[in-house]
Structure 1
């Protein structure tokens, strides 16, 4: 049985007006079209709904019994459709974004605050977590979008380049001023370094460039989070290589910033999504804005007003 809402409306309007022609006017179709809808409904039900005469149309005994059922069914259908429609509209006003702690703390809050001036109706939820959990959340659909510098492919995940960033060197302000504004990779190969675990995206880039200049050992001090590395450098524990994504955090600390050259190294921050998940309509607009916003942050290096060595 394949009863449509249009057939139910045709039946209810005909019963109300006791006339195919007046009912057809309400449904904005022809009288013959109205008659077809009612006959199709009767064929599916297996009984006549109306007694037809040349003067008027009246409900049969079965039509009288079916009337409240049709009325209730149509009301429930329209109410359900309206509720789903409201839910879909509401879903388009929400966007969930996951990021590692530094990005979640330093880049997303001011970006979201600025975007809210343009789109105050959009509600953005931020989830801060480590990289493996972030990818899992995208894969499972727990979040709409993830932000990561992860370079490798992940099952079911599409990586969309958001912005390029550079690698810079930071040193404690209290350390001897033996580094100039521009530092070569070979110049730090024998220095005490603070870094991340070897599978961290930024550390993979750092290790790749250090191997080229003859350093194969891991950092002397390993920290899981970039914020911890910055704090360790500030305390004088060693030097650290940072992505320019960390500039807002670095500029809050007593560290000096140095360009890394020969070669200049860079990486990519990705906007990652589940291939099978349809993003909220607002995602594209925020993606474009975030691209511009993060670009403006990383392009502050090397700024004239930044802390110099």
Structure 2
């Protein structure tokens, strides 16, 4: 007789393409997870995965079984979570973490729509994940996916970063990457951090090298960087959602073809994914962003 837990383990292995990562997500030992899979394969009478050095590749039988059992497993887990949460006190306070600039522009206007109380936390992607891991926050918006046991990610959106210059600067036309790089490299830059986040990303993506720039100002706040650009202090790389119509004439996007895209994710603890308040907040954020 097939044990339901074998099906659950199979679904996790399928999603993670790894026995070890599936075991971490289920808070099980790797040998126990492997035994679940072996028992299920014995009952099915066929291999469900092809084992390689780097990952588990589902067989055709494995793919078919997944399409059959995954919805049933998820439905049963949802029912179990509903029963558990209905017997608990209502969770009225949700702790949300984000980069401060994205929060101010995108999340703050949505707070009245959440239908619950919230506490805001701000920090870098690394700091926010540490806070999530320590249960200091319940939900974060992050630009980085870290491999962390018990943490799930949902893609939220893509943000565009572009080079911005003071509005009064005369920027020469450049018909080649080499010409663009030549002019940009001679300018003064304002950086978000000493490691030149996003500036370095843009340089590597388009010019295939590390940037060698003059960066006399490091300011870890995008709104303040934008103010410095307006004052004529130099160039920077800024998310385009900050460039509101009110900024027209004060700043300008230069060499728009050099823009880069950055993914943003919602991240939360697997054990909290069925909490109604968290589900509601994620629904509102995904509908409006």
TM bucket normalised to smaller: 0.5 to 0.7
Q: Is the 8 A contact 1:190 1:215 kept in 2?
A: no
**In the aligned structure 1, how far is the partner of 2:221 from the partner of 2:157?**
21
**In the aligned structure 2, how far is the partner of 1:219 from the partner of 1:281?**
46
Provide, for residues 4-31 of structure 1, a one-character-per-residue CA deviation record: whole Å limited to 9, x for no partner.
Answer: xxxxxxxxxxxxxxxxxxxxxxxxxxxx
Q: Within 5 A, what are the aligned runs for 1:1-309?
A: 88-91=88-91, 93-113=92-112, 115=113, 121-150=115-144, 152-154=146-148, 156-173=150-167, 175-178=168-171, 186=181, 187-197=183-193, 202-209=198-205, 211-212=207-208, 215-217=211-213, 219-247=215-243, 251=246, 255-258=250-253, 260-278=255-273, 280-294=275-289
Provide, for residues 69-120 of structure 1, a one-character-per-residue CA deviation record: whole Å limited to 9, x for no partner.
Answer: xxxxxxxxxxxxxxx98883420x432211121122222111223x25xxxx
Bigger CA radius of gyration: 1
**In the aligned structure 1, how far is the partner of 2:207 from the partner of 2:216?**
15
Q: Which runs of 5+ in 1 are unaligned?
A: 1-83, 295-309
SS at 1:197's partner residue? coil
What's the TM-score, normalizing by structure 1?
A: 0.54
**In the aligned structure 1, how far is the partner of 2:150 from the partner of 2:86?**
29
How many pairs were matched up? 202
TM-aligned CA deviation for residue 183 of structure 1: 11
Q: Which runs of 5+ in 2 are unaligned?
A: 1-83
Distance 1:202 1:158, change over 3 A: farther
Distance 1:252 1:209, change over 3 A: same
TM-aligned CA deviation for residue 146 of structure 1: 0.9
Cα RMSD (Å): 3.5
